[in-house]
């Protein structure tokens, strides 16, 4: 087990383009989270999956954002019609559903919108 894996590590895109990021959680973890981190700030929660069900979405997740976890394993985060304000590090994390376990984070995808 190599931990949480995210792809790509870096993405530069032009404003208005669509981008998609992938996250592969730790294999036995059924809980998966997406966070966004902007420069000089701590990560902010975006959304949470329990298996394939998306159980919570933050108000930060506008209509241009969509996340899926179709088979309860990997997840994708898509941003449509990117804006410069979307530039950030997008972090994926996973955890088991045992009581009080911590989340393990991937290395993140750094998005730059030009």
Partner 1 sequence: AQSVAQPEDQVNVAEGNPLTVKCTYSVSGNPYLFWYVQYPNRGLQFLLKYITGDNLVKGSYGFEAEFNKSQTSFHLKKPSALVSDSALYFCAVRDEASGGYNKLIFGAGTRLAVHP
Contact region with partner 1 (CB under 8 A), list: 14-22, 59-67, 80-88, 101-109: 101-109
Tell whether the torsion through CA atoms of 9, 84, 39 and 45 is positive or negative.
Answer: negative
Q: Which of 11, 19, 31, 34 binds partner 1 (CB under 8 A)?
A: 31
Binding status of residue 54 toward partner 1 by CB under 8 A = no
Binding status of residue 74 toward partner 1 by CB under 8 A = no
Q: CA-to-CA distance for 65 and 16, rounded, in angstroms?
A: 13
Q: Which of 18, 56, 60, 81 binds partner 1 (CB under 8 A)?
A: 56
Q: CA-to-CA distance for 11 and 89, rounded, in angstroms?
A: 10
Q: CA-to-CA distance for 92 and 108, rounded, in angstroms?
A: 7
Q: Which of 12, 44, 62, 114 binds partner 1 (CB under 8 A)?
A: 44
């Amino acid at each position: 087990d190599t931990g949480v894996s995210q792809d790509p590590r870096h993405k530069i895109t032009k404003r208005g383009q669509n981008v998609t990021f992938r996250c592969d959680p730790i294999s036995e973890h059924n809980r998966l989270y997406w966070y966004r981190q902007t420069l000089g700030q701590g990560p902010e929660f975006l959304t949470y999956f329990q298996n394939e069900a998306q159980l919570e979405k933050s108000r930060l997740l506008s209509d241009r954002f969509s996340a899926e976890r179709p088979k309860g394993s990997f997840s994708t985060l898509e941003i449509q019609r990117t804006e410069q304000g979307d530039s950030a590090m997008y972090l994926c994390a996973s955890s088991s559903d045992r009581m009080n376990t911590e989340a393990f984070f991937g290395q993140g995808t750094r998005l730059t919108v030009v």
